Structure formats: C-alpha cells, structure tokens
Amino acid sequence: MGAGPLYLQSGPRHPARHADRSCRAGAEAGDWPVSELKSGRKIAVVLFNLGGPDGQAAVRPFLFNLFRDPAIIQAPFFIRYPVAALISTTRAKSARANYALMGGGSPLLPETEKQARALEAVLAQRLPDDEVKAFVAMRYWDPLTGQTARAVKAWKPDEVVLLPLYPQYSTTTTASSLKAWERAWRKVGGRRGAARTTTVCCYPTADGFVQAHADLIRAEYAKAGSPRPARILFSAHGLPEKVILAGDPYQRQVEATAAAVAERLGDVLGEGVDWKISYQSRVGPLKWIGPSTDDEIKAASEAGLALVVTPIAFVSEHIETLVELDVEYRELAYEHGGSIYARVPALGVAPAFIDCLGTLVTEALADASSLICEEDQPCPGAAA
C-alpha cells in the first residue's frame, strides 16, 4: 500500500471531499434534537495531540505511557508492560539529552494551547451567539485525556467536537486518542446523549491546511534565495510497515497532502525543482515505511540539491522538528556536501490553518452525523 516517492506530480490523488460530504458514518441525527439548539450553545472543542514531557523527570514516565499503548506496541498486556518498562528506561537517557536541547522539556503543550486560544478567537467571530471553549487532551503526558474529559464534563457543554491535531489519520495516533477519549468520557459519566458529539477523523487535503503549508513553504523558499536546483522534501513521521499493511490510511493520506500542497505551489515548482516525501523518527527494530528522511537528505545533498524541508504531518514545533530536523538532519546535509538546508516552520497558528480548523468545527456542528472523514470509507476505528 502507498506508492513510493513521488516527483513533480500534479493534482491531489484524494481531492478534499468536504463539499460533497460523501463520507459520513454512524449518523446520529435521530439521537439529538439538533433543531432545539441553534444558538446560545455551549460548544466544547477537544484538540488531541500526543503530548510531551514537561521536564527532564517526566521523560521516562512519558516514554512508558507511549510504549504501553497497544496502538504503538501490538502485544498482549503481559508482554507490553515489561517491554514498555525496558524501552522507556533504555531510551530515556538519549531522549533526555534531546529534550535538554529544547530547554529540558517539550514545547508541544504551550504550542497547542496557542492553537486552542487562536481557534477560540476564530470561532467567537463565526459563532457569536454561542460560547465556545477549546480544551487540549494529550495522549501520553499532561493534560492527559482523563483530566480533560473531567474538565469538559464540568463545563457542561451542549455539543462536543473532537478534533485531532493529526491531519492524516493513523491507528497509532488519531484512533488511539479517540479510544482514550471514549473510555475517559464514559468514565466521567458523559454519555453520548449528554452532549452531541461529532468527531473529525482526518483532513489531509482540507483547503486551509494545504494553503497554510503552501504559504509557509513559499516564504521559506524565497528566504533561501529561491535556490536552483532545489528539492522540497515533505518529511512525515514514519510508521512500522506492518501498520500500513494492516490497513492504516496514514501513508496514503500523507501522500495526498504532499500532492495537494505541491499542486498549490505551482508557481514555485517550476523547471528544475522537484519534491519528494520521506519518513523520519524511526524507532525500534521493525521495518518502517520509507524512504527515510536521512537517506533522502544524504542523497539530495550529495547530488548538489538545495533542500527545503517541511514537516507535513506535524502541526506544531516539537522534538522531531526542533531537534531531528533542525539539528540532526541539518548536520547530515552539511556532512554530505549540502550547502542550503532550509526548514519550513510547522503550521502553529498560521491563520489559514486555524481558519481551517474553525471550518472543520463549524462543519461538524452543522452536520447531522457523528463523523467527518475525507476518505471514501471512514478511517478504520474512527467511529468506535
């Protein structure tokens, strides 16, 4: 599954389907008297991300939480726990050193909080008669999903919109977060009927998301002096190949994003400039999807290409952009003869991106179904 590297392609393989709304699942229109709540609603938007340690002492327990997740290590409980304990202990030292380069901990929570506040501001304008509050639910470190579910329940919303900050759906990220939410929400006594819940499971080619990437790449490309010959490298977090072979749509959706952004960059992608997708952050002994970002950086640098590297599956700055892309891969490029290595910032609070999140929320609220998905079939497990 998932074609290999793509060069100079035009046209997304999976055009955005927001407009035709052809893909919805688990319609709940009959469950909730939508017409009774046109305005004056309390709307909770829950933003999901992975989370990161807030200091050096949190690194090992954060890694333990990550590796004990069955979405990350598909093994029975009695194997997973000792494996998680072992990996988190052995990996902690090098991970701590990397987090130390960012001041000791991960910037992911403050970056996500900024996105939450920016989204609230956009929604306050779009839904002036409603009260909208954006909550952050992290999967492996504070604020953990259970804590956020309690805060959402205490706020007594009429509507809840679940919005993962993973534009491309994966069982390892989106589905894991949504399952954790289901469990936590049930635990705090928030039944489906208590507040209408709509889930946005993926948005790999949503208009504002693609536009925000194109704008940031264009700016970085110009800053680097619009070098020729150059390659735009779309770098996404990798996954074990077996996860993709089991039907995870992540790689297909990453390819759809990259193709859509490349098409939007038509004026930059002139003669002599190409683009490619690669996968970073490999962990463990399994075979991961490729090509790997380090191989692509070596190859492009040795070929004398200037590199414009853009994180295509992360929407915030964190360890894998600030350390892996900015420090490790930059050094690698220079070691292999590269002279220009430009790194495009993550989306953060780029206006087109936040506006796009606002559109996803208003579409979710206007929709009578429980799931909003860009795929022909709902992403596997999203409707659970």
Q: Which is nearer to ligand L6N33NVT, 108 or 149 (CB)?
A: 108
H or E stretch at 151: helix 145-155
Q: Which is nearer to Fe ion, 59 or 373 (CB)?
A: 373
Query: Per the annotation, does 18 bind a ligand?
Result: no
**Amino acid of residue 199:** T
| Strands of the sheet with 42-49, listed across from one edge | 24-25, 371-372, 196-200, 159-164, 42-49, 131-138
Q: Could you give the angle at which helices 77-100 and 59-67 cross, rounded to 10 degrees?
A: 140
Omega prior to 291 cis, within 30 of 0:
yes
Q: Is residue 137 near ligand L6N33NVT by the rule CB under 6 A?
A: no
373 interface partner picked from Fe ion, ligand L6N33NVT, none, CB below 5 to 8 A per type: Fe ion
Q: Which is nearer to ligand L6N33NVT, 66 or 162 (CB)?
A: 66
Tell me which residue of 250, 105, 40 sits closest to 164, measured CA to CA: 250
Q: Is residue 172 near ligand L6N33NVT by the rule CB under 6 A?
A: yes
Q: Is residue 233 near Fe ion by the rule CB under 5 A?
A: no
202 interface partner picked from Fe ion, ligand L6N33NVT, none, CB below 5 to 8 A per type: Fe ion
Which of the stretches 25-33, 313-321, 348-356, 358-366 binds ligand L6N33NVT when contact is defined by CB under 6 A? 313-321
Report the residue from 58, 66, 361, 373 that binds ligand L6N33NVT according to the rule CB under 6 A: 66
Place of tokens 């492009």: 300
Question: What number of chain residues touch Fe ion (CB under 5 A)?
Answer: 6
Q: Is residue 365 near Fe ion by the rule CB under 5 A?
A: no
Name 190's Cβ contacts closer than 8 Å, sequence gap at least 6.
Answer: 149, 152, 153, 160
Tell me which residue of 256, 290, 279 sits closest to 325, measured CA to CA: 279
Place of tokens 């901990």: 105
Question: Cα-flanking dihedrals φ and ψ of residue 164, to 5°?
Answer: -65, 140
Query: Per the annotation, does 302 bind a ligand?
Result: no
Enumerate residues 76-95 that contact ligand L6N33NVT by CB under 6 A: 91, 95
Take residue 291 and report the two structure tokens written for it.
Answer: 């090509």
Enumerate residues 239-268 that contact ligand L6N33NVT by CB under 6 A: 239-240
Would you say 292 and 241 are in contact if contact means Cβ atoms under 8 Å apart?
no
Place of tokens 């390892």: 172
Enumerate residues 201-230 that contact Fe ion by CB under 5 A: 201-202
Q: Is residue 373 near Fe ion by the rule CB under 5 A?
A: yes
Residue numbers in the known binding site are 237, 320
Residue ranges in contact with ligand L6N33NVT by CB under 6 A: 50, 52, 63, 66, 72, 91, 95, 106, 108, 166, 170, 172-173, 237, 239-240, 283, 313-314, 318-320
Residue ranges in contact with Fe ion by CB under 5 A: 169, 201-202, 373, 375, 379
